[in-house]
């Protein structure tokens, strides 16, 4: 659980873990590692000490921030467990998330799976008083019912909060790439599917929270981790694709790097086509509106002329009748 000077979120995250039905059956089933990445250590430890989960919590303090993915690796290294999940301080779960994902990986018939993801919702929230209130929520990628290698090469299919995986995955492929600012989870997932399958539970059991305040309105602690220019997804995605393709070429063949680059190129071309279609439709509507405005003006002018002419005809008719 990565955090830095966000006590409201951290308390909510601990409450979220405490509400898991898995703990009701076995209070010793979960260990929580909080990586305080350069925040107020005394404040974090004071909050943890007052929480019912305190006996199950380990706190790792960094004197200064070492970055999101170094913090993730520190959390993984600080506890010995069969399964791992990254629960960022601002995200939440359905109470059955751990029960269902652990049961999936525990099942003998699922031994080939390195991890399991669940459907998740994107929850938008805003600050209100001393906390945050939900503004809206939307299903995230409900069309994805299976984690296909090729589809994962095109885009990341789930956020960390929706993914429980075996510790043995780290033994096989290593740690998160701490040199990346964002998308290190996607890079890790791409390495994972080269060795393991990833299962999918088609129930919305995880909630990926985002603040709706503009980046310049939200304070630095509460803003979304991906907000601001430093978290440029497009740039990181391109750099990752470039690196993977170089790895392919250096290895004398084409593999994940080729797939990622081709599929991303197709994705960008599809977006451009959709954008061009949208612009074309907008232009058509503009021409239609302009034409309708012209018709309306013509009709109005003709109507006024007809009314004037009608008045003249009536006056002439009355004069004509008066003569007889």
Digit-coded pLDDT (tens) for 138-150? 999 999 999 999 9
Where is pLDDT greater, at 100 or 309?
Answer: 100
pLDDT digits (tens, 9 = 90+) for 72-106: 999 999 999 999 999 999 999 999 999 999 999 99
What is the total residue count of the chain? 324
Rounded to the nearest integer, the mean pLDDT of the chain is 89
Assigned CATH for 2-231: 3.90.550.10
pLDDT one-digit tens code per residue, 312-324: 656 665 666 665 5
- What dihedral do alpha carbons 264, 265, 266, 271 form, nearest 10°? 90
Would you state the structure tokens that stand for residue 243, as one six-digit string? 């690196």
**d(C-alpha 294, C-alpha 285), whole Å:** 14
Question: What average pLDDT does this structure show over 177-184?
Answer: 94
pLDDT tens-digit series, residues 249-261: 999 998 999 999 9
What is the per-residue pLDDT for 275?
76
Region 42-58: mean pLDDT is 98
pLDDT(297) > 90: no
pLDDT above 70 coverage of the chain, percent:
81
Per-residue pLDDT, 229:
45
Alpha-helical regions (H) of 2-117: 7-18, 21-25, 41-49, 68-77, 97-106
pLDDT given for residue 48 in this prediction: 98
Top mean-pLDDT range of 265-269, 282-286, 306-310:
265-269
Q: Which of 172, 170, 186, 176 is nearest to 239 (CA)?
A: 186
DSSP 3-state assignment of 96? coil
Confidence band (pLDDT; 50, 70, 90) for 220?
low
pLDDT at position 12, please? 98
Please, which residues have CB within 8 angstroms of residue 269's CB and are 6 or more apart in sequence? none
Question: Where do the domains of the chain lie?
Answer: 2-231, 248-324
Res. 39: pLDDT tops 70? yes
Res. 206 pLDDT band, cuts 50 70 90? very high
Q: State the average pLDDT over residues 48-71.
A: 97
More confident residue, 4 or 274: 4
Question: Does 228 have pLDDT greater than 70?
Answer: no
Cα atoms found within 13 Å of the Cα of residue 158, Cβ hemisphere only: 34
Q: What pLDDT is stored for residue 214 in this prediction? A: 56
- Mean pLDDT on 217-244: 70
User: What are the structure tokens assigned to 105, written together?
Assistant: 């990986």
Question: Residue 143: how many CA atoms within 13 Å on its side-chain side?
Answer: 1
């Amino acid at each position: 659980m990565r955090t830095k000077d966000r006590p409201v979120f951290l308390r909510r995250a601990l409450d979220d873990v405490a509400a898991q039905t898995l703990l009701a059956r076995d209070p010793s089933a979960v260990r929580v590692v909080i990586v305080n990445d350069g925040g107020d250590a005394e404040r974090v430890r004071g909050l943890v000490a007052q929480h019912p989960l305190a006996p199950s919590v380990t706190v790792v303090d960094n004197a200064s921030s070492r970055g999101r993915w170094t913090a993730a690796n520190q959390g993984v290294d600080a506890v010995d467990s069969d399964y791992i999940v990254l629960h960022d301080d601002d995200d939440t779960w359905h109470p059955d998330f751990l029960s269902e994902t652990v049961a999936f990986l525990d099942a003998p018939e699922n031994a080939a799976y390195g991890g399991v993801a669940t459907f998740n919702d994107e929850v938008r929230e805003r600050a209100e008083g001393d906390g945050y209130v939900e503004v809206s929520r939307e299903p995230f990628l409900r069309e994805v019912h299976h984690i296909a290698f090729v589809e994962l090469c095109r885009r990341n299919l789930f956020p960390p909060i929706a993914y429980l995986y075996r510790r043995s995955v780290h033994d096989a492929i290593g740690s998160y790439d701490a040199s990346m600012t964002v998308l290190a989870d996607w890079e890790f997932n791409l390495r994972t599917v080269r060795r393991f399958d990833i299962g999918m539970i088609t129930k919305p059991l995880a909630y990926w929270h985002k603040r709706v305040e503009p980046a310049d309105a939200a304070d630095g602690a509460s803003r979304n981790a991906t907000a601001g220019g430093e978290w440029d997804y497009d740039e990181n995605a391109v750099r990752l694709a470039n690196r993977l393709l170089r790895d392919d070429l250096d290895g004398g063949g084409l593999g994940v790097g080729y797939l990622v680059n081709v599929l991303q190129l197709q994705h960008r071309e599809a977006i451009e086509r959709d954008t061009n279609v949208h612009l074309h439709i907008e232009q058509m509507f503009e021409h239609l509106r302009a034409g309708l405005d012209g018709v309306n003006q013509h009709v109005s002018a003709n109507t006024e002329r007809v009314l004037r002419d009608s008045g003249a005809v009536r006056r002439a008719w009355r004069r004509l009748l008066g003569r007889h």
